[in-house]
Each structure stands twice: as C-alpha cells, then as structure tokens.
Chains A and B, each alone.
Chain A
Amino acid sequence: MPPVIDYKKCKACGTCDRHCPGDVILQEKKKKPIVLYPWECWHCGSCRQDCPKGAIRIVFPPRMINI
C-alpha cells in the first residue's frame, strides 16, 4: 500500500508527515515516520516528491492495478 518508506534511507526529518494532506503518515518525536493510515492515502505523491532522501516509493495494491 502506498507510500512505502525505506528506513535505510530515511533520516527522520519529518517532511512527509508535515506535508501529507491526509494525516496518513505519523512521525513521533525522534522516531522514524510510519504510514499509519495507508488506506486513507490518495496517492498525491507529495511525500515522495518532497522527501529529501528519496526514501519513499509508491506501491499500488492489486485492487487498483489488477481490476
């Protein structure tokens, strides 16, 4: 389910959390962000576009690409 965070690249800067329009991503203090509500993502791609480390990719579920 989109987005998927590569934790090896992620530096926990918090941009994806701040910019997500749907509050789908949560970063708690000093921890790395988690995609808490993947079902509520509308695939705007803001997190991926704005991630300074290129740590986010978008993975579409079968119910989108296989129907």
Chain B
Amino acid sequence: MKRPQIHKINTDVLIIGGGLAGLNAAIGAAEEGAKVLVMDKGGIARSGSIGGGVDHFLAYLNEGESWDTKEGYLKYCADTAKGAVDLEIQEAVFCDELGRALERMERIGVSLYNKEGIYYRTKSMGQPGPYWINFNGKRLKPCLAKEVLRLGVNALEKTVTTRILTRNGAICGAAGFNIRSGDFYAIQAKAIVGTTGDTVRLFESPTRNPFNTWHCPYNTGDFQAMAFNVGADLTNMEYVRMTLVPKGFAAPGFNAFFSLGCTLVNGHGEPYMERYHKLANRAQRSMLVWGTLNEIREGRGPIFIDTRHLDSKTRNHLFTTLGYDKDTLPDFLKAKKEYELEEGLIEIMISEGMQGAPAEVCGSGIRIDRECASSIPGLYAAGDSADQHHCVHSCTTGGYLAGKKAASYASKIKRMDVDSKEVRQEMKRVFAPLQRSKGLTSTEFEDVIRKIMTDNLVPAKNEGGLKLALHKLKNIVPYAEQLVAQNFHELMRVHEAQSLLKVGMICCVASLARKESRFAPYHFRSDYPERNDQDFCGLVLVRKGKSGEIVTGFHRLEYRV
C-alpha cells in the first residue's frame, strides 16, 4: 500500500453525501454563486437510496379538489404524522419549494409526465387523494449528476467523510479519506450540508444478509453521528422504520402495489387489513406493517400481496413501475416465477428495521429550522438525515433549499482555518485500524450491534429492554476502538460500524425518553402501549452532553389544521 497523500481543499459549501438531497443541495448552492464540493463514498451518478431509480414523487397540484392544495396537504401531514411532523417547516420548505422542484425535474431531463403527457397519479398510505405521481426515475441520479457538474460543482467520489470540524462552535470544515488511494482530505468550508440518508445496517435482515435492505445499505448514519459529535440537536431518532418487501429481497415497490389496488392476504387466503384500519390496504405504512406483524404473530402467515384482480393494463403498469423503483425487482419476481403465476400472489416479508422516518411526510435525524439549518452555525441538513425531510419530494425541495441557504450563510462569513492539530489527530484515528494486527473486523462487530438492537427494539420496546440494549452497546465500545481493516474498503466499513454504534445508542436513549407509543410498530412501548398526546405530542430532542453523554429534551408541536 503506497503512502497516502494529504490534500487541503477550500470551498464555500461542502456537501456530505451526493444522493438525491445532496445533489439538489449542490444545485441550490451553485446557483447562489457559491464554490461547492460534494463528498460521496460512492459515485454521484448512482449513489443513495434512489441511485438505481425511483418511481414516485409526492405532490399536490392545485387541480381543483380540496385535498390537492397546500391546506389539504398540511392536513394530511397532521392526520398521518402528528407528533413528528413540524407543519411550519413543511410549509416553509416543501410547500414553498414544490413549484420550483417540479420545474427543475423537467429542466434536468427527468419528466414527471407519462408518455401521454399527463401526470399518472395514485393514492396510498393514508392519503386523502392521489398525491403520488408515478414516473420513470431510472435516470434521475445520472441527470442530476450531469447538471451538478455543468454548474461547476466539484465532486470527490469514493471519499468517506469521517469528521466535521468546528471552531468557536461554528463550522470550519471536515476531514475524510479516499477508499481507493487512501489519500486524506482536510476540507476548509464555511458551511456544510449533511445529506447522508437514514441509518440502514442497524437491524438484522430477515434474509441474514445485512446488505439486503430496503433503503441503501451504505447509508450508515455517518452524518447523524458526526453532527451529534459537534453538538447538533437530533429528533425523531426513536423511530425504527420498517416496511413490507417481497420475500427474500428487501426491494421497494410496496407503494406501487397498494396504490394500484392490491390487497394483503394471510395464509388462510383472507384479506386482513380491514380489521386494523378503516383505510385497509391504503392505510399508512406503519399500520400495514403492524397489521401484518399481528397476523404472523397469531399464526396466520405466510403473507401475500394479491394482484389477481388487476386487469392486464394495470398489471403491465405495475410491472413497469416496479422496475423504475428497483431496477432488479422484475428480474427477481420472474426468477421466483411468482408474478407470472396465474395465482398472482406475491409472498412478502417484513423488512429489517432502520433509523428512519416515522411517517411519509417527515423524517428522523438532524433537527432543522425553516431554512434547513441545524443548531450549529453553518451546519445544514437535508434529505433522510434531516428530521423533517423524507422521500423524493422532500429531498428535491429540501435539498435545494438547504444548499441555497448554506450558500447564503457562507457568503456572509469569513473562512476559518481548520485546526491542523485536530486534522493530524483525526488522520491518526482514521488510519489506526490499518496498523492493528489484533481486533474485531467490522463485519463481526456490526453483527453484535444488529443483534442487540433487533432483540430489544423490534417490534416492541420497554424500559428494561432498552436499558439492557444500551448497557450492551456501551460494553462493546472498547471493541469499536480496536477494529481492524486490511485495506481502504474495509477501513470505510470500520468507520461505518462506528457510526452505527453511535446511532444505535442515540436510538435507545430517545426511545427511553418517549414513554408512550406512536406510529406502532416504529415506536411501540409495551410498558406504555397507548398514544399520549398530552405529554408527547412533539419531538424528543437528543444532543451531546458536557461529558459526551446523550441527553434528551422535548419540543412540543401544535396542530391547528
């Protein structure tokens, strides 16, 4: 292995993570005239949870119906995400940016219109009307990457960010390394936008492969861990998000099935969702997972999605749109032969858990304000690592706004030097696993985290279990500090594992603080099984205490719609 080089780079805005939110942030910042750098562990053309494609964009379009307006949308937010969604931020970020986002999609060459020139709109997940626009988003990331480069944004690809650097409590840069050359980067930046997504490899996969996950398995909560370390507030971190996926393959596609009218049936061949929610199969995601968990628990599995009643035109649309959302899913279903069976029953399973959004309209992660700014001056968040963003519509609108506001902040301040001593220390810390001859591999270590988290947080939690999980996670901290890597790829996985441990601990502490149940099974406390709006209608805040411990607070949310 050759000796790594050290590079120092200056930029106005640094974007950590070049997924959907990150590239929209890059566009927003570049259009404001800022010098922009994107750092991504992969390549910006295909990184992130929609790297391979996507098929849905949530929007209200003011086409006449009352649900199809800003007011209708905000009411939907309050109805399905009460206690987690901040309506003021929805209005200032999503509602104000939606028009520009729809225009931008067309401008970069990814049309939301179908071949007939109309929006193909569908409804699911508790929506009062068809908010989903079905579209072919297979080239969304490559088109965004092209636009970002056209605007003069620099991209550092295959480069992991390991630390955010601050001076006098404000952002001054970040550090990281290239996973091929091992080159180390000290970035001086006036502002940072963090967009590394949710935390995926935190819970056991039902297929036993931790990379067989619904969202991108390379989303390991790196920004959540780094932002926590510099003192940023985080919220909604107690929610363990899950969904329904085809048996054997944790692929997205769920939304397409239910929005086109498919039905969940149990092993007795009976539809069951009517027993759990009045909207049945069009109820919100957490409710479908909850109902399905209960069917399995009571011995009525296996579970199937019934597509038999769909006409051939709708079936063709379903098959096409599944491939837009997950390129390889149609191949998988063909290989399993389920889709082609006359029966049209597709066996499903409950996915792994993840640190992620409690509902479809808000997120989990860094607490943001109306300008997507965190509690640290110069630090912004967007996409699935921000507490009020989630999914394609939010990443597109919120990413852009975060980039724009970060650039505006950067234009008003002077660049601060990074502390060279801190950079040297970070470099030593980052590369230490390569020098060790003894220690756990990241694979072994991650397995322990996932086992602890899964045993104690999925699908139900209680005080005893959460305290036990926290105790066990603390017990493995010494191992985290002695992990080994044989090359830079493994070194990336080592740093990911350390992020997973931090996010796991935060998740346990936040879960202990919310002494009620909300969005079950995402946060179901068996010792507090009811929802308690009087005491818990709001956000559990998490931040780093004076001696590094995780402390909590509470921010109450009001709903007047």
Binding site for B on A (CB under 8 A): 2, 18-23, 36-37, 39-46, 48-50, 58, 60, 63-67
Contact = CB atoms under 8 A, between A and B. Distances in A.
Given A63-B248, A67-B247, A21 B216 contact: yes
A36 to B, nearest CB: 8
Interface of B: 41-43, 45-48, 51-53, 138, 142, 157-158, 179, 207-209, 211-213, 216-218, 247-249, 251, 326-328, 331-332, 335-336, 489, 492
Nearest to B158: A23
Nearest to A38: B211
A19 B336 contact: no
B331 A63 contact: no
Nearest to A19: B46
B336 A49 contact: no
Chain B's interface: helix, strand, loop or mixed, by majority? loop
B248 A43 contact: no
18 contacts: A2-B328, A19-B45, A21-B46, A21-B47, A21-B216, A23-B158, A23-B179, A23-B492, A39-B211, A43-B332, A45-B326, A45-B327, A46-B51, A63-B209, A64-B212, A64-B332, A65-B248, A65-B332
A22 B210 CA distance: 13
A23 B489 CA distance: 7
Contact of A18 (B45, B209, B489): B45
B51 A37 contact: no
Given A22-B217, A49-B327, A44 B248 contact: no
A39 B41 CA distance: 18
B42 A49 contact: no
A43 B251 contact: yes
Nearest to A48: B327
B43 A44 contact: no
Contacts of A2: 328
A46 B19 CA distance: 14
A18 B211 contact: no
* 3 pairs of A and B residues whose beta carbons are closest in the complex: A45-B327, A44-B52, A21-B42
Nearest to A43: B328
B249 A43 contact: yes
A34 B391 CA distance: 33
B51 A44 contact: yes
A30 to B, nearest CB: 15
A8 to B, nearest CB: 21
Contacts of A66: 248
A39 B336 CA distance: 20
